């Protein structure tokens, strides 16, 4: 598969309470700002927020399933958590090709997550090894 600078792909998902609870169980991150309504009311957010890494993990889904796609492997990812994501928010994760290495099957992609109001909630850059099928 050939890529060009500017190529882009995205996925959209509504972050549910079940997602937040499952992420807490899988990771062991039971920070009350994510899982305890009463505690979360006392924070600057006034209610529970989704784990930042749960939101960022949607980027991984774009990279694995769409661009660059099947067999791709993360080599690196920078992240900035810009705004909170709340259970019930619809998040769109997008990856856009910024740079293509000519000497290796590696691409750099701008990564961004937006909420349903088109506000940036996460941004960063991914470096990904592209899978090239070996000939038999």
Helix (H, G, I), strand (E, B) or coil at 29: coil
User: For the chain, how many structural domains are there in total?
Assistant: 1
Q: Has residue 92 been placed in a domain?
A: yes
Domain holding 90: CATH number? 3.10.129.10
Q: Has residue 65 been placed in a domain?
A: yes
Q: How far apart are alpha carbons 61 and 70 in whole angstroms? A: 10
What range defines the domain where residue 110 resides? Answer: 8-129
Split at pLDDT 50, 70, 90, the class of 134 is low
Q: Has residue 135 been placed in a domain?
A: no
Q: What is the pLDDT of residue 133?
A: 66
pLDDT tens, residue by residue, 60-99: 999 999 999 999 999 999 999 999 999 999 999 999 999 9
Across the chain, mean pLDDT equals 95
Q: Has residue 3 been placed in a domain?
A: no
Q: Has residue 109 been placed in a domain?
A: yes
Q: What is the pLDDT of residue 132?
A: 74
> Taking a C-beta distance cutoff of 8 angstroms, is the pair 62, 55 a contact?
no
Q: Has residue 27 been placed in a domain?
A: yes
Q: Has residue 95 been placed in a domain?
A: yes
Split at pLDDT 50, 70, 90, the class of 1 is low
Q: Has residue 24 been placed in a domain?
A: yes
């Amino acid at each position: 598969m050939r890529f060009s600078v500017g190529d882009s792909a995205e996925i959209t998902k509504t972050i549910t309470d079940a997602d937040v609870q499952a992420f807490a169980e899988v990771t062991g991150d039971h920070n009350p700002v994510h899982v305890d309504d009463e505690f979360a009311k006392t924070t600057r957010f006034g209610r529970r927020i989704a784990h930042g890494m749960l939101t960022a993990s949607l980027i991984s889904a774009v990279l694995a399933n769409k661009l660059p796609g099947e067999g791709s492997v993360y080599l690196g990812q920078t992240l900035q958590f810009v705004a909170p994501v709340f259970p019930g928010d619809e998040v769109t994760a997008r990856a856009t090709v910024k740079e293509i290495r000519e000497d290796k099957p590696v691409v750099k992609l701008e990564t961004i997550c937006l909420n349903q109001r088109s506000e940036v909630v996460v941004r960063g850059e991914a470096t990904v090894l592209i899978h090239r099928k070996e000939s038999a």
